[in-house]
Amino acid sequence: MIKVEGLSKRYARHVAVDNISFEIEKGKIVGFLGPNGAGKTTTMRILTCFMPPSSGMAEVAGFNVMDSPMEVKKRIGYLPETPPLYPEMEVGEYLQFVGKLKGLSGNDLAKRVADVSDRCNVAEVSKKLIAKLSKGYKQRVGLAQAIIHNPEVLILDEPTSGLDPKQILETRDLIKSLAGDHTIILSTHILPEVEQTCESVIIISQGHVVARDSVENLTSRLRGSETVAVEVEPRSGELDTAVVQAKLEQVAGVSRVVYRDTKAGRSHFEVESLQCRPVRAELARAVVESGWNLNELRGVNLSLEDIFLQLTNTDQAASGGAK
Amino acid sequence: MRNILTICSKEMNSYFRSPIAYGLMAFFGLVTGWFFYIATAYFVQNSMKASMMGGGGPMNVNEYVVRPVLMNISVIGLFIIPMITMRLFAEEKRSGTIELLVTSPITDLEIILGKWLSALMMYCAILAVPVLNLMVLFAFGKPDWKPMFVGIFGLILQGGALLALGSFISNTTKNQIVAGVGTFAVCLMLWVLDWVSSFESSAWAKVISYMSVVAHYEPFSKGIIDTKDVIFYLSMIFFGLFLTARSMESLRWRS
Ligand SMILES: Nc1ncnc2c1ncn2[C@@H]1O[C@H](COP(=O)(O)OP(=O)(O)OP(=O)(O)O)[C@@H](O)[C@H]1O
Ligand SMILES: [Mg+2]
């Protein structure tokens, strides 16, 4: 559905997107993950025909963004980073306007406006001025605007930014419900968001694609060697942290144990496990059987930076090992 | 065509949602009303004097009221233009709504024409106040209506030309104020260019004074449609809109 080959975009000073290629099949939800300034917005702007690439090729639904932009634009719904709203308009009126821009008219238009207002939960504010909406509502109107013409391809630039947690979940559900009929690309810097919404993920950093994989593969690759935080408390008296550490190290599959600190009698450790070895159950048993209380056992979330480091490192290691 | 109207009606809406439209109408109505009052008072006084002295024929309303009032409107109109066009593109670029327009299945030309047309309609709405003033003359006298309509037609042409330039200037910046000041400067320049012809008569002076917008309006105010002037305004409209289109395109390549 979407095909990008050797795409580059140079701004006056520097290269924002450098020779990236990927392909997205029809009906998939793909997450575009990357830190600030990675080139997510730039890539999306090229796909939506907002600006032309410096070199390379991008195709949406079989149409080239350079040769037949009109055909591409008809098939794309786009939510830019800042929702493109006119503060002096009422919500309903705004959706009507966008619908007309996208080529809807008459009954069809009215039906679509009602439909998307419902889906994005903005029906109750349809008579309100956009200037008076809260950030979250503005974001919802932006989303409603993107899907008004029921486009084949949806490009959403940080669709959940500025929403409250409940609204984030609703938006993710909404996005998931759109998959199948629609091919969706959404950008984000939040890893869990990708895990929960997307089927596959493209990670970009400094204009390069660092990884592209299905979400399961990627998470298992990352979770393969996992870090678990353990909080241990003695049933009575003092706890000898060295003893605990030794005990934890003896658990099968554990590669390293780091003692962090002790606060209010509770000692914290970080346990790193070997590739593909689930160790949590064993850790719990070891602690409890030694007569200590296990207060907490939790996987440590990798930050986006860790993931980049890990991905780039493992890739280098793999290519280095192949030589 | 449908897309042009969609854009145009959206713009009209936003003009009339802001107090600026009413402010401009009031300001323009007041200033032109004042000129109208002076011209009429002057006319009444002089024609009374003339008839008391018994000499000469009756004075012509068109000559003494309509023409000077139209000329005044034409000049004051220059200062209204920047306020109409300044937000046209600059505001969309600042707020990011331009992304919606440009990624919708409509052409740049449709966007530009829609916006320019709305600006022209706004300008006509502002002109309506002084035009109504002139209509009052029909109640008290018998002005010749033909030159009056030619004069109004000329005002619209002149407005269209300057609005096209204003659109272009608004398209080159994200800042409404910069767009407004820039357009104001250009309008001012196009007005004063004519003054050079009063002390210079070289070929250069002729070329420069040819560029003067107001000078091309003069025949219209007398009720004369000269093809040369019509072509001047039409080519300026075309030129302005062409530049706007180019600027939209080039900004896309650069940013
Ligand atoms: N109009 C522009 N002119 C010059 N450089 C730009 C322009 N827009 C973006 N850039 C640069 O291009 C790079 C990529 O920017 P882009 O907006 O695509 O990043 P992003 O991945 O969307 O980041 P974020 O997560 O912050 O939204 C950045 O280094 C940015 O400074
Ligand atoms: Mg971005």
The secondary structure of chain B as a DSSP string is -HHHHHHHHHHHHHHHHSHHHHHHHHHHHHHHHHHHHHHHHHHHHHHHHHHHHT-S-PPPHIIIIIHHHHHHHHHHHHHHHHHHHTHHHHHHHHHTTHHHHHTSSS-HHHHHHHHHHHHHHHHHHHHHHHHHHHHHHHHHS---HHHHHHHHHHHHHHHHHHHHHHHHHHHT-S-HHHHHHHHHHHHHHHHHGGGGGGT--SHHHHHHHHT-HHHHHHHHHTT---HHHHHHHHHHHHHHHHHHHHHHHHHHHH-
Task: Please indicate whether, in this complex, the C-beta atoms of B103 and A73 are within 8 angstroms of each other.
Answer: yes
Task: Please indicate whether, in this complex, the C-beta atoms of B105 and A85 are within 8 angstroms of each other.
Answer: no
Interface contact B18, partner A, CB < 8 A? yes
How many angstroms separate the alpha carbon of residue A49 from the centre of ligand 1? 16
Q: Are A244 and A269 in contact (CB under 8 A)?
A: yes
Cα torsion A139, A140, A146, A148: sign: negative
What's residue A74's pLDDT? 93
What's residue B81's pLDDT? 92
Better-predicted residue by pLDDT, A220 or A206: A206
Q: Compute the CA torsion angle A108, A114, A117, A121 (nearest 10 deg).
A: -150
What's residue A318's pLDDT? 45
- Share of residues in chain B with pLDDT > 90 (%): 41
Which positions in chain A touch B14 (Cβ < 8 Å)?
A: 86, 88-89
Band of the pLDDT at B255, cuts 50, 70, 90?
low
Task: Please indicate whether, in this complex, the C-beta atoms of A49 and B102 are within 8 angstroms of each other.
Answer: yes
Band of the pLDDT at A310, cuts 50, 70, 90?
low
Among A218, A222, A304, residue whose Cα is nearest residue A35 = A304
**Closest-CA residue of chain A to B95:** A84
Ligand 1 pocket, A138 CB below 6 A?
A: no
What's residue B217's pLDDT? 84
Q: Concatenate the DSSP letters of all residues of A156-171 into one string.
A: EESTTTT--HHHHHHH
Q: Are A89 and B13 in contact (CB under 8 A)?
A: yes
What's residue B28's pLDDT? 86
For a pocket test of ligand 1, which of A18, A42, A190, A206 has the largest count of ligand atoms closer than 8 A to its C-beta? A42
Task: Please indicate whether, in this complex, the C-beta atoms of B252 and A102 are within 8 angstroms of each other.
Answer: no
pLDDT exceeds 90 at position A84: yes
Interface contact B13, partner A, CB < 8 A? yes
Ligand 1 pocket, A8 CB below 6 A?
A: no
Task: Give the lowest-confidence range in A8-12, A299-303, B218-222.
Answer: A299-303
pLDDT digits (tens, 9 = 90+) for A218-241: 766 666 567 788 888 888 878 788
The mean pLDDT value for B239-248 works out to: 94
What's residue A322's pLDDT? 37
- Give the span between the Cα atoms of A39 and A33, in whole angstroms: 10
Among A166, A167, A184, residue whose Cα is nearest residue A175 = A184
pLDDT digits (tens, 9 = 90+) for B36-81: 888 888 877 877 777 777 655 566 777 777 788 888 888 888 889 9
What's residue B242's pLDDT? 96
Task: Please indicate whether, in this complex, the C-beta atoms of B253 and A12 are within 8 angstroms of each other.
Answer: no
Task: Please indicate whether, in this complex, the C-beta atoms of A78 and B13 are within 8 angstroms of each other.
Answer: no
ipTM score of complex = 0.86
Question: Chain A neighbours among B 155-194 (CB < 8 Å)?
Answer: none
| Mean pLDDT over each residue of chain A, to the nearest integer | 85
How would you list the strands of the sheet with A266-273, edge to edge?
A254-263, A266-273, A227-234, A292-299
What's residue A323's pLDDT? 33
Which ligand 1 atom lies nearest to the CA of residue A35?
A: 25
What's residue B123's pLDDT? 93
How many angstroms separate the alpha carbon of residue B215 from the centre of ligand 2? 51
CA-based angle A67:A72:A73, to the nearest 5? 120
Among B53, B35, B54, B32, residue whose Cα is nearest residue B43 = B35
Taking phi over 0 as left and psi of -120 to 50 as alpha, with beta for the rest, A121 belongs to left
What's residue A261's pLDDT? 85
Question: Chain A neighbours among B 79-118 (CB < 8 Å)?
Answer: 95-107
Distance in Å, alpha carbon of B94 to nearest chain A alpha carbon: 10
Domains of chain A: 2-221 (3.40.50.300), 224-299 (3.30.70.1340)
The mean pLDDT value for B10-21 works out to: 89
Ligand 1 pocket, A42 CB below 6 A?
A: yes
Task: Please indicate whether, in this complex, the C-beta atoms of B95 and A85 are within 8 angstroms of each other.
Answer: yes
The mean pLDDT value for B100-109 works out to: 94
- Give the span between the Cα atoms of A129 and A152, in whole angstroms: 30
pLDDT digits (tens, 9 = 90+) for A117-172: 998 889 999 999 999 998 888 999 999 999 999 999 999 999 988 788 888 888 88
Report the residue from B14, B95, B252 with minimal CB separation from A52.
B252
HSE (CB half, 13 Å, CA atoms) of A7? 31
The mean pLDDT value for A4-9 works out to: 91
Among A218, A173, A233, residue whose Cα is nearest residue A33 = A218
Ligand 1 pocket, A80 CB below 6 A?
A: no
Rg of chain A in Å (alpha carbons): 24
Task: Give the lowest-confidence range in A126-135, B139-148, B226-235.
Answer: B139-148
How would you list the strands of the sheet with A200-205, edge to edge?
A76-79, A153-157, A183-188, A29-33, A200-205, A208-214
Better-predicted residue by pLDDT, A249 or B199: A249
Per the listing, tokens 């039906």 go with A111
Segments making up each domain of chain B, as ranges: 2-254
Task: Please indicate whether, in this complex, the C-beta atoms of A76 and B103 are within 8 angstroms of each other.
Answer: yes
A98: helix, coil or strand?
helix
Which positions in chain A touch B10 (Cβ < 8 Å)?
A: 86, 89, 97
What's residue A36's pLDDT? 84
| Mean pLDDT over each residue of chain B, to the nearest integer | 86
Task: Give the lowest-confidence range in B92-106, B108-122, B181-195.
Answer: B181-195
Interface contact A92, partner B, CB < 8 A? no
Which positions in chain A touch B98 (Cβ < 8 Å)?
A: 84
Ligand 1 pocket, A11 CB below 6 A?
A: yes
Q: Are A73 and A48 in contact (CB under 8 A)?
A: yes
At residue B145, φ and ψ (nearest 5 deg) are -75, -25
